[in-house]
Chains A and B, each alone.
Chain A
Amino acid sequence: GAGVSQSPSNKVTEKGKDVELRCDPISGHTALYWYRQSLGQGLEFLIYFQGNSAPDKSGLPSDRFSAERTGGSVSTLTIQRTQQEDSAVYLCASSLGESSYNEQFFGPGTRLTVL
């Protein structure tokens, strides 16, 4: 079956513009995660969804970041008024459930460059 897909694969934007990143999880996976990977850094947890609900949004770096998930499937991560420090690879992952034992399956990421 298809894996996790993300779009766009690359996004170049100007400082101050809004961007929207999309994630399509594996069908049937109820848990969905967003991470940010900055150059040379590890993965920074942003937000987690169980179904359409986001129990913990505390990883979002600022109020310019928001995310939603509809129909228990597709999720979008929106960054408003982008700043240069937002430049990073944004990774989405999904898993069968929220158990800590469950493997997360990662998408290829969206590389965001803010000029």
Chain B
Amino acid sequence: GDSVTQMEGPVTLSEEACLTINCTYTATGYPSLFWYVQYPGEGLQLLLKATKADDKGSNKGFEATYRKETTSFHLEKGSVQVSDSAVYFCALSVSGGFKTIFGAGTRLFVKA
């Protein structure tokens, strides 16, 4: 069945460090891929998405590229800030379907 696997956390970084959170997926068909973020005390919100192979989603300095050949959608940021501390969820939604499959989430702590 369809699934999403993302790196376990927590991830602890110093401010201005580089971030990569790995995400790989298994899906039938051609999924859309998403990263959602949950800041402390807030609800989940969409961070970025990509709907076809080789698309790059970007927002707030974060980027992720849809890699069909490696079935991956790794989240990257060149320089993290304390305000990026949150839980990040990788997710997929299969074309023609309605169900969104979420990964387990990766908690990021950024120290000043």
Contacts and interface: CB of A to CB of B under 8 A. Distances in A.
Size range of the chain B interface in the assembly: 20 to 34
Interface residues of A, number: 27
B98 A31 contact: yes
Nearest to B4: A42
Nearest to B30: A100
B94 interface: yes
Contacts of A41: 104-105
Interface string A1-45: 001100000000000000000000000000101010000111101
Contacts of A100: 31-32, 51, 93-98
A108 B98 CA distance: 21
B43 A107 contact: yes
Interface in B64-100: 89, 93-100
Contacts of B95: 100
A101 B97 CA distance: 10
A43 B89 contact: yes
Interface of A: 3-4, 31, 33, 35, 40-43, 45, 48, 50, 55-56, 59, 91, 93, 98, 100-101, 103-109
Given A100-B32, A108-B43, A42 B97 contact: no
B17 interface: no
Given A103-B49, A107-B43, A108-B43, A42 B102 contact: yes
Interface of B: 31-32, 34, 36, 42-46, 49, 51, 89, 93-105
A48 B99 CA distance: 8
B99 A56 contact: yes
A100 B34 CA distance: 10
A59 B98 CA distance: 13
Given A40-B104, A100-B32, A101-B51, 13 more contacts: A4-B43, A33-B100, A41-B105, A42-B89, A42-B103, A42-B105, A43-B89, A45-B101, A48-B99, A100-B97, A101-B32, A103-B34, A106-B45
Given A42-B103, A56-B99, A100-B98, A106 B32 contact: no
